Structure 1
Amino acid sequence: MAGPAILTLCVLIAGCTASTTPVNKKIGQQGSSNGDASPIGGTFTYALAGSPTGLDPNVVPAALDYRVMRSIYDSLVVQLPDKSIQPWLAAEWTVSPDGKSYTFKLRQDVKFHDGTPFNAAAVKANFDRVVNPATKSRFAVTLLGPYESSEVVDEYTVRINLKSPYSAFLSSLSQAFLGIVSPAAADKHKDQLTKNPVGTGPFKFVSWSENNAITLERNPDYKWAPVLADNKGAPYLDKLIFKIIPEEATRIGSVQSGQVSAGETVPPQNLISLKNDPSVKLLQAESAGIPFTLMLNQDHAPWNELPARQAVQAAIDFEAIVKTLYLGTYAKAWSPLTPSVLGYNSALEGAVKYDPEKANKLLDEIGWTRGSGGIREKNGKKLSIHYIDTSPNREKRNDIAAMIQQQLKKVGIAVEVEILADTTTALMVKGTNDLVGISNVSGDPDILRSFFHTNAIPGSGKWGHNHTHKSDPQVDAWLEEGLREQDPKKREEVYKKVQTYLIENAYGFPVYVFPYTVAAGKSVNGLKFDSLGYPIFYDVTLSE
């Protein structure tokens, strides 16, 4: 989001000033996460709500993987909560007048965990690897946008050339998915880099026990932390262990009993009860980007018809779902962007209302009449939705599916809910879904391009996430305009139009904004979040 604010001729970023306060919102009365006790190192165990699939940032796109990768890989730049961009592995940079070339001066004191040097050649190798079809990048390639080439100007200067201006470029570079990988390790491990990650980060990879734990150890040579960290040197912790505990009760109970140092994704009922638990600290940050949003596959009739989509939109009581399942701890989403993202359109708040009478009227008007069991029929075909979701029940999304099944039945739509351990084949290859929920963490509104542009429609070997399967020239044009526009105010207006259009045409049904919440033991100090809402461990200590 901060990209366009600095896209001017020969801007020297190293001298920028901005707030460096990380996102670190405390809930209840637990006091500061930094604490007053004398810090000690030791082993910090962080309970994850699921199992990562791989630790190659150039390939794997999942949030769970990101939480581990951020401690292994550094980025060229860092985005702060105020949306400004600051140096990291790049000490400074300039931008060409046409906005298509970025020249980065790199730090000269950085080494990868395998001892090989970080330099311009390493940056070039990384970005060339991302766009190489053989890499099969599923998200990093999208973040690179209109990447054309990289040039090694000298050992510590690299010029990145774009085919067209890309206003989200610096924001994208700040993400761990474009974290810098050791080229030597990538050549050595190839597609097995997912289980043998090598970066320049504060922690080194040690081991991965499948479905159990990922162990990292302190990088003693680390001295290039971003401004998000108070501690600029090696981390205080000796080891950082990501323990995989999908079961909510077990995960939170493990924090309360001291078996783990902290655990993520606190369920709403626990969030309420833990507020007054003196043995636990609760920390929270908004997961910025795309909130949990439902998408109808318009390749399947009748969802290619606007009245049918609007009927579904009106027949789901989203506010009741959020209130019932999340007990007031999650906010209702109104837009395909979360409130903290540039260009969020607050005018959409309250625009869509639960209206089953409207839903029934719309379905009547397009010829779907009540049949046996109250389910609507037309030309001998029942009106049904194939709703695909994943297991385990992340953020109670399976429960959302069950509630929607009951609500849509009332207006004559049958919903078949299919819960899959892996939805890749169903969504990306076969496209068998009618309805599916998505979310994504990002620091720039350009993320909409990955979910609503024609080029993001999955299938035929493509790994896009436009599960509406809708090719809309107007949406494409606006998204491409937002990609090129350098003025942040003008960008905001473009993306506000996109959001309004998506809601009015029922391309996406926003459900909730996810508050990433962590429960930590009372001995834990210095746990913070980055601007996207991911945990960072530079400053973490354990007190006696």
Structure 2
Amino acid sequence: MVSSTTTATARRRGWRWAALFVTVALLSGCMAQQPTNSPPQAAHTLVVGATLEPPTMNPSASAAASIPQVLLYNVYETLVKMDAAGDLRPWLAQEWDVSANGLVYTFRLNPAAHFASGKPVNAQAVVTSFNRIKTDPTIVSSLVDQMAVVKSTEAVDDQTVKVTLNQPSNLWLYDISSTAGIIYDPAGLAALDTTPAGSGPFVLQSVNKGQSVVLAANTSYWGTPPRLDSVTFRFLDANAMNAAMLAGDIDVISNLQAPDAVDQFSDTSRFTVIDGTTTGEVVMALNNARPVFQDVRVRKAISMAIDKRSLLDTVWNGKGTLIGSMAVPTDPWYEDLTSINAYNQAEAKKLLAEAKATNLSLKLRVPTLPYATKSAQFVESALRQIGVKVTVDELAFETWLDDVHNGGNYDMSIVAHVEARDLRRFTDPDYYFHYDNPTFNKQFQAADEAAADDLVPLMRKAVRTLAQDAAAVWLFDLPNLVITKNTVTGVPQNAAALSFDLTTIANR
């Protein structure tokens, strides 16, 4: 629930941004009146190296983070937007109000906003986009979960939307700053897999399967025009990406996948190294549906067998932050819980003996991502030392999504959960963790529904319960290691959202 002070701040912030949009529009109008006989400007392009290719252009059809990395805030927009500091600011909505009981959100849309098709971003488009998540069976389950709290979405008038919740939720506004809150052009819903229907500063130009996705500037964009004419996301493995950057073939490494290679980019006359934080908890998931993991002593033993500091130093060159539960340093309720189930091989062996779980044989199935495969090798060695045999199975990411994430066919797995404030995943027993703890669920719900002043202490209680119950093994928080040519500016230090946000970036 949002306090009256928070609501007032949101309103003031919304009006300030509204004023900024008006100012920008006026300036844009003045610039448009200048003579056009100046020589043509050189095209401003950007080539971004990325690790994972989007499996589809439809953000509502897949949980793959590679989709919003390319499309969120660039091609698609939301009512509110999360900035690099993790704060919400107005976007398609100029302002919003929250009722005193925290149940009713009233959004006032920017009247200038329109889709790339030219159709207006109006209240009915918001209603259609939100209702679609609740009624379309093809929508990915994580978005359905985030919107389950919504009771109704109504168009008050063409520029005003009223959303009523079933119960107060502190996290819902953050949820709709990401893929759950994308506002789609209703006329383009049938072809989303291949043809985005957004209102953003870029449009999809081409998809070159296995190689790249190219975005072009939306020449009729309703807001501040992008400073880039085109952007190419090239999909490369870690070594190829580093080589391409050194050769000058790409302009940005969106997240360095080999931190031990960072010294290659120490020449400040050529490169800029950005070292920040992300919301990417690298989690070693334990399939709690497996009988062996229904004993908390086994889960604790697995965690205690792993020296996480050594793992971070070995796997990720010491970059990143050790975490002890499903929270990262940019979360307001974060606290250091790494002492819970900390490295202790002797205690791990003792717990396994007490649980009569000796001679375990487990399959660790991971996607072929550098942090995951390197971590898996370290884990296999660590668990072998307490008598647990681990077979590592490396899978292409799409196969991992189908077989592990969606199919639950695994004992243990390792992947970075990059959505902001994604603690909710542990309340869903059907999610691939298959974790079901009524105590945690009640604590989470109490925190989500609490008055704003009570959110942090209550959420800390829930986060601590996850750690004490060893619901998973938390390895570390991924750093935001970005390498750019020194001609590139405007890349934020932290990655607080799923988007590789191009709206602030320029390349001179």
TM-score, scaled to structure 1: 0.83
Change (3 A) 1:355 1:531: closer
Tell me the secondary structure at the aligned position of residue 141 of structure 2: coil
Q: 498-507 vs 138-147, which deviates more? A: 138-147
Counterparts of 2:234 and 2:153, CA distance in 1? 38
Please state how far the C-alpha of 1:351 moved relative to its aligned partner.
Answer: 3.5
Counterparts in 2 of 1:303 and 1:77: CA distance versus 1, 3 Å? same
Q: Is the 8 A contact 2:153 2:164 kept in 1?
A: yes
Contact residue 5 and residue 486 of structure 1 kept, 8 A: no
Residues 349 and 311 (structure 1 numbering): CA distance in 2 closer, same or farther, change over 3 Å?
A: closer
The equivalences for 1:234-249 within 5 A come to 234-245=225-236, 247-249=237-239
For residues 163-182 of structure 1, give each alpha carbon's deviation from its aligned partner in whole angstroms, at most 9, with x where no partner exists.
11111122222224422111
CA distance in 1, matches of 2:222, 2:459: 39
Instruction: Give the alignment partner of residue 108 of structure 2, picking from 94, 105, 112.
Output: 105
Quick check: 1:79–1:531 contact (8 Å CA) kept in 2?
Answer: yes
How many residues are treated as equivalent by the alignment? 481
8 A Cα contact 1:112 1:182, kept in partner: yes
Q: Which residue of 2 aligns with 1:296?
A: 286
Whether 1:268 and 2:259 are equivalent positions in the alignment is: yes
Superposed CA deviations along residues 138-191 of structure 1, whole A, max 9, x for unmatched, are 3322332401221111111111111111111222222244221111000x42xx
Matched, 1:473 2:464: no
**C-alpha deviation, 1:305, in angstroms:** 1.0
Can you list the C-alpha shifts for 1:93-115, whole angstroms capped at 9, x where unaligned? 21222211111111111111112
> Conserved in 1, the CA contact under 8 Å of 2:480 and 2:495?
no
1:282 to 268, 273, 277: 273
1:497-516 residue pairs with structure 2 within 5 A? 497-516=461-480
**Partner-residue secondary structure (3-state), 1:287:** strand
**Number of the residue aligned with 2:55:** 53
Aligned to 1:404: 379
In the TM superposition, 1:188-199 aligns within 5 A as 188-189=190-191, 193-199=192-198
* Partner residue in 1 for 2:33: none
Secondary structure of residue in 1 paired with 2:47: strand
Q: Distance in 2 between matches of 1:250 and 1:2?
A: 47
1:221 aligned partner, one-letter code: S
Point out where structure 2 has 5 or more consecutive residues left out of the alignment: 21-40
Q: 1:168 to 1:518 in 2, by over 3 A?
A: same
Q: Write the letter of the residue equivalent to 1:297.
A: N
Q: What secondary structure is seen at the aligned counterpart in 1 of 2:163? A: strand
Equivalent residue number for residue 27 of structure 1 = none
- Is the contact made by 2:277 and 2:320 (CA closer than 8 Å) also made in structure 1? no
Change (3 A) 1:48 1:5: farther
C-alpha separation in 1, matches of 2:495 and 2:60: 20
Q: Which residue of 2 aligns with 1:362?
A: 351
Q: Aligned pair in 2 of structure 1 residues 542, 302: CA closer, same or farther (>3 Å)?
A: closer
Structure 1 CA distance for aligned equivalents of residues 495 and 240 of structure 2:
26
Residue 265 (structure 1) shift:
2.1
CA gap of 1:527–1:120, structure 2 versus 1, over 3 A, is same
Deviation at 1:508, TM superposition (A): 1.7
The answer on 1:457 being equivalent to 2:434 is no
C-alpha separation in 1, matches of 2:442 and 2:259: 40
Structure 1 residue 334: Cα displacement: 2.3
Equivalent pair of 1:479/1:498 in contact (CA under 8 Å): yes
Alpha-carbon distance between aligned partners in 2 of 1:185 and 1:437, rounded to the nearest angstrom: 36
Aligned partner letter, 2:371: K
User: For 1:450-509, what per-residue CA distance to the aligned partner results, in whole angstroms no more than 9, with x for missing partners?
Assistant: 2x11xx223xxxxx34x1x2321101101111221132x411111211121111111121
Query: Does the aligned pair in 2 maintain the 1:3–1:85 contact within 8 Å?
Result: no
- Secondary structure of 1:513's match? strand
Compared CA separation, residues 151 and 317, structure 1 to 2 (3 A)? same
Q: Does 1:255 pair with 2:245?
A: yes
For 1:517, the equivalent position in structure 2 comes to: 481
Offset, 1:80:
3.5
Cα distance in structure 2, aligned partners of 1:301 and 1:308: 10
Farther off after superposition, 420-429 or 328-337: 420-429
- The structure-2 alpha-carbon separation of the partners of 1:436 and 1:2, relative to structure 1 and needing over 3 Å to count, comes to farther
Q: Does structure 1 residue 350 correspond to structure 2 residue 339?
A: yes
Superposed displacement of residue 530, structure 1: 5.7
* Residue among 381, 391, 407 paired with 1:416: 391
2:15 matched to which residue of 1? Answer: 15
Residue number in structure 1 paired with 2:36: none
- 1:481 and 1:425 map into 2 onto residues whose CA distance is 33
Q: Is residue 150 from structure 1 mapped to residue 150 from structure 2 by the alignment? A: no
Q: Provide, for residues 305-350 of structure 1, a one-character-per-residue CA deviation record: whole Å limited to 9, x for no partner.
A: 121112111111221111112222222222221111121123x143
Task: Tell me if 1:77 matches 2:80.
Answer: yes
2:133 maps to 130
Task: State the alpha-carbon separation in 1 of the partners of residues 43 and 168 from structure 2.
Answer: 45
Please provide the CA RMSD for this pair.
Answer: 2.5
Question: Contact 2:289–2:435 at 8 Å: present in 1 too?
Answer: yes
Q: 1:408 to 1:214 in 2, by over 3 A?
A: same
Q: Deviations over 1:283-309 (max 9, x none)?
A: 233112x51111222222222112111
SS in 2 for 1:200: coil
> Are the counterparts in 2 of residues 386 and 417 from structure 1 also a CA contact under 8 Å?
yes
Please name the residue that 2:404 is paired with.
427
Kindly provide the amino acid, as one letter, of the partner of residue 280 in structure 1. Answer: F
Task: Tell me how far apart the structure 1 counterparts of residues 65 and 55 of structure 2 sit (CA, whole Å).
Answer: 10
For residue 470 of structure 2, what is the amino acid of its counterpart?
A
> Which residue pairs with 2:321 in the alignment?
331
Equivalent residue letter for 1:136: I
Could you say if the C-alpha distance between residues 80 and 237 of structure 1 is closer, same or farther in structure 2, counting changes exceeding 3 Å? closer
Aligned partners of 2:97, 2:364: CA distance in 1, in Å? 48
C-alpha displacement of 1:440: 2.3
- Assess if the C-alpha contact under 8 Å between 1:287 and 1:533 holds in 2: no
The 3 A distance-change label for structure 1 pair 197 and 350 is same
1:484 aligned partner: 449
TM-score by length of 2: 0.88
**Inter-CA distance 260–424: structure 2 relative to 1 (3 Å threshold):** closer
Residues 144, 41 of structure 1: alpha-carbon distance in 2 compared, 3 angstrom cutoff: farther
In 1, Cα distance between the equivalents of 2:406 and 2:50?
28
Q: Is the 8 A contact 1:7 1:167 kept in 2?
A: no
